């Protein structure tokens, strides 16, 4: 396993729609392991492959706390097949939009069809925090970000700040 670099806004790759996975093999499982290690190191509770510059429909998530046993999920080609009518409003953040948070309304529960890390088709209901994380990460696979759900004014302010921070970091690196 190895740590991968997480790309950040305004990287245009984050707007790319990820391609479906054709085959679950050892190479893909190695990518999943790298993603999990990268997510834990960040630290985060969800990571889509596009966030490490790999445009494939793969995500990992784990909402366990530090004092709990790890309980990771590996979702390949995830597809939400049911949204609850009940909505939930909570703060969201993102490893690709560091240090920025916004209240986002999403369905409180979802049903997702996906392949597991062994290539077996699964269908699972997610609710509460897991529902929020899986929707957030699937958005990444579709080229969306949580800031797309806030006002244009707030979104533009965040993108400007991140662009400025990125340019400053690049000039220091030279």
DSSP 33-92: HHHHHHHHHTT-SEEEGGGGT--BSEEEE----TTS----EEEEEEEEEEE-S-EEEEEE
How far is 78 from 138, CA to CA, in rounded Å? Answer: 7
Phi/psi for 59 (5° steps) reads: -145, 155
Give the contacts of 54 (CB within 8 A, at least 6 positions apart).
31
- DSSP letter for 20, please: P
Q: How far is CA 73 from CA 15, 99, 110, 157, 165, in A?
A: 24, 25, 15, 33, 32
CB atoms within 10 A of CB 17: 11
Q: Is residue 85 annotated as a catalytic residue, yes or no?
A: no
Q: Which of 37, 92, 137, 170 is catalytic?
A: 137
Residues with catalytic annotation? 137
């Amino acid at each position: 396993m190895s740590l991968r670099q997480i790309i950040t806004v305004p990287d245009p790759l984050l707007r790319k729609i990820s391609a479906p996975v054709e085959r679950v093999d050892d190479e893909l499982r190695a990518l999943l392991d790298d993603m999990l290690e990268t997510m834990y190191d960040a630290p985060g509770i969800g990571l889509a492959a596009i966030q490490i510059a790999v445009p494939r429909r793969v995500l990992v998530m784990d909402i366990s706390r530090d004092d709990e046993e790890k309980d990771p999920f590996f979702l390949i080609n995830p597809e939400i097949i049911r949204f609850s009518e009940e909505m939930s409003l909570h703060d969201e953040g993102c490893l690709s939009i560091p240090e920025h948070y916004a209240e986002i309304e999403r369905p409180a529960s979802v049903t997702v069809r996906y392949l597991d890390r062994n290539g077996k088709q699964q269908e699972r209901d997610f609710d509460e925090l897991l529902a929020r994380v899986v929707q957030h990460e699937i958005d990444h696979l579709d080229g969306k970000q949580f800031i797309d759900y806030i006002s244009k004014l707030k979104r533009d302010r965040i993108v400007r700040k991140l662009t400025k921070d990125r340019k400053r970091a690049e000039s220091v690196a030279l």
